[in-house]
Structure 1
């Protein structure tokens, strides 16, 4: 076991690292595709069984949990992944103990403050949900800490087993409870089942057994890196969850239900793809942080693939949003359409900015991730009140889009400096996906209609047209993104 763990990416040759990256990418991609299909299926089924207010109540509970989580963020997993030491077993029990202490504190605060939190947000029914949902955090804290090796060593087939099994159980339990009870507790039951499954599976797939111990020196080492993760987590919470809190406070639980449904459907494809890429890229950048040429090549290849996949997804959602909402969710959900379209743009921009966060953390500069998120949070705080008050959930969606958009100059300047690249190298990665997606949108509009046959015809037309247009352009202008996978990380420096 220890011998296998010692074979971290930093000690492999170029082809070996590329092989690990591709293998890891395949596993994480498969996981996210399957998870997204299952999650979307769950949303569609439950949208027919539950009301928008049920989704809003669940959103309030998850919002409160996320706030406490970010306020107490330790960043120990990211610190362990970024750590250049081969063997991190000696840190795992300390990391595990810290997480448990943190979980107990979070649950205690939730139990005591649940009524006050729900009353402040104007939804007293959320109180009991808050108390129950806090248990999920205890499940997560007690997970086997050795699962961090799955990312550190790009061993993502185990990561796949861990996450997919839990999502599958969540979907089954939530839908079963939805048919029986037809209320918000279906969503609660699914989340509880997900994290309990994850806890059990984590000990089945890795033999490491932690013990309750707290080594203060090791804790200080972890906090040295984790302090920036904590700071970034605070600003990320304001940027990604603050809008939810403002919507429920100003507009109520029903509006939050509409808003979160729009977010999940619009941001899911592009954001999930970028998460897949960044999850694999983060440990890869860590392995290459002292090899500038390979780091530059790898990051530009990552950016190329991100543009190729996320641009058409965002444009596709923008075009089919009205028909998809009516046909799939039902007329009750029509109010989400404008917000869904705005958030499709936000999802694409977030996907690009996410590549910056990964390289900042992977090269030991997490402070730039914090600064980028701080700028984003300030923009949202300045714009969300007037925009939401004037335009409802669509205004809130515009506010978060502006917040994400303002981080792009920071991402561009700092990431370019880290990898020593030219601006033109960034631009050339975006041109073909943008042109192909524009042509795709025209073709989709010509075939789309407000029925199931027309919707499917439009989606199929979009997929085929994008593939055709992009393939032709790549053939005559520059290498196709798929071709860069042959040697994704480049050859080692001499």
Structure 2
């Protein structure tokens, strides 16, 4: 467990590259498997069953968010996070939390089902809530390894369980063709993740609670308290509101479109985000270097993300038809909106990582609260009037405003100037305009839908290829910048 921290200079750069490569490869395989599963299941399971599953996942997320205090982030951020004493305290907090959530949530399943007018949801929810017990039992040692950019075990645990859960879901989906296949696959995945975590990252829990570790964890989690719930509100409000206003079929179409639109964000959160916090944490005592690294990360996100959002907006209907089938083209408009939301969310996650790197997560709370309040005020009337388009637009509007204020606050924290941040957007906007124009031109050729969908990604891939070649030196410089601060993390 007590593996060496990455050394200074290029040593950390190599660690970042190795860790990122392992994480990217494992995540890509697992997420592509999930993508293929959705492609198959969308053609054999009715959309209303996906609508029910969307409510199930939202309910799980609600109860998790109510008690989330950021233990995993504390393990990564704290310099003592790898010690047995610290991990023991972290494990017990997660176990108590998971068991308590299940004990409270499971008996409430019938009430939730009645709220949505779906009696069949009761037993489904009761079974689904068991995932929180298995999540709480996971070994926190996997998070400690992330600080050292050692992602091999994390990939095997997360992606391995994901692949096994995906396989079971696919088999059960073919056999049963209902929501139970989706739920049991999710529960099985959580169980396998717990087992693998102790096989590959074992710890020895004891009843002895180290006071210093407890104080460190409590100090960090106190700053995190409430953030997860507010984040949940801004991430799942659309499902909760639409679940009451539209049919299960419409919700299912919307939920699957959102899943596809947020596929890049899922990859980002699994591959890039675990690297961002440790990299920025290396500069927690040097604001100038932290600011420069943050700006470089944001520039790369906008540069590659905005052209992708342009493709998703212009070719929404053909892409949904290609992936899920013709019925899902009805969700083209919200798909386009969520495509933009995805890119803005990536940029916002990097901004939040600055606060995590400085062990000041409470600085994010006011922006998340503002975003949640904006959604509470706007999402119901917009959803009532415009349906899924209104819901997705409310989410995007709240995120953009909160992001603007978040960036403005970084001026006080790390001396970030508005002009410097706006400069990170220029290249991405130009690339997005070019990709959008080329993709729109293809739409004028009156091609078959599937052909148009295939050709619509060509402009994006071409621009990405040029950008990757042009930005290769910038990526290397970012790695060197990370390596140069490694000594401060030792």
TM-score (norm 2): 0.92
Alignment-derived partner of residue 482 in structure 2: 489
Contact between 1:443 and 1:462, CA under 8 Å: does it hold in 2?
A: no
Alignment-derived partner of residue 218 in structure 2: 223
Q: Secondary structure at the match of 1:455?
A: helix
- Count of residues in Structure 1 that have an aligned counterpart in Structure 2: 484
Displacement of 1:103 after TM fit? 1.4
Displacement of 1:444 after TM fit? 2.1
Bigger drift between 408-417 and 152-161 goes to: 408-417
Query: Within 5 Å, which residues of 2 pair with 1:207-286?
Result: 207-214=202-209, 218-270=213-265, 272-273=267-268, 276-286=271-281
Match of 1:169 among 150, 164, 167: 164
Q: Secondary structure at the match of 1:406?
A: helix
What CA distance in whole angstroms lies between the structure 2 residues aligned with 1:418 and 1:23? 31
Contact between 1:24 and 1:156, CA under 8 Å: does it hold in 2?
A: yes
Displacement of 1:378 after TM fit? 0.7
Structure 2 residue 103 is the aligned partner of structure 1 residue 111: no
Alignment-derived partner of residue 60 in structure 1: 55
Bigger drift between 374-383 and 238-247 goes to: 238-247
Alignment-derived partner of residue 5 in structure 2: 8
Displacement of 1:151 after TM fit? 1.6
Alignment-derived partner of residue 121 in structure 1: 116
Give per-residue Cα distances to partners, 1:272-328, cap 9 Å, x unaligned: 325532221112222321123432332222223222332222122112211112233
Q: Structure 1 residues 144, 490: closer, same or farther in 2, change over 3 A?
A: closer
Q: Secondary structure at the match of 1:288?
A: coil
Contact between 2:318 and 2:329, CA under 8 Å: does it hold in 1?
A: no
Displacement of 1:212 after TM fit? 4.6
Give per-residue Cα distances to partners, 1:428-478, cap 9 Å, x unaligned: 32211221221112222233544333321221233114434x479x59xxx
Unaligned runs of 5+ in 2: none
Q: Secondary structure at the match of 1:360?
A: helix
Alignment-derived partner of residue 458 in structure 2: 460
Q: Structure 1 residues 28, 414: closer, same or farther in 2, change over 3 A?
A: farther
Structure 2 residue 146 is the aligned partner of structure 1 residue 151: yes
Give per-residue Cα distances to partners, 1:133-173, cap 9 Å, x unaligned: 11111111111221121222221122111111111112111
TM-score (norm 1): 0.91
Give per-residue Cα distances to partners, 1:238-285, cap 9 Å, x unaligned: 111122111112224333212211211112214532553222111222
What CA distance in whole angstroms lies between the structure 2 residues aligned with 1:328 and 1:262? 10
Contact between 2:11 and 2:483, CA under 8 Å: does it hold in 1?
A: no
Displacement of 1:483 after TM fit? 4.3
What CA distance in whole angstroms lies between the structure 2 residues aligned with 1:374 and 1:232? 8
What CA distance in whole angstroms lies between the structure 1 residues aligned with 2:64 and 2:208? 22
Match of 1:141 among 113, 136, 145: 136
Alignment-derived partner of residue 40 in structure 2: 45
Structure 2 residue 331 is the aligned partner of structure 1 residue 336: yes
Alignment-derived partner of residue 449 in structure 2: 451
Give per-residue Cα distances to partners, 1:347-390, cap 9 Å, x unaligned: 11111111111111111221122112111101111101110000
Structural RMSD (CA): 2.3
Contact between 2:316 and 2:329, CA under 8 Å: does it hold in 1?
A: no
Q: Structure 1 residues 210, 450: closer, same or farther in 2, change over 3 A?
A: farther
What CA distance in whole angstroms lies between the structure 2 residues aligned with 1:221 and 1:487? 31
Unaligned runs of 5+ in 1: none
Displacement of 1:57 after TM fit? 1.2
What CA distance in whole angstroms lies between the structure 2 residues aligned with 1:349 and 1:102? 31
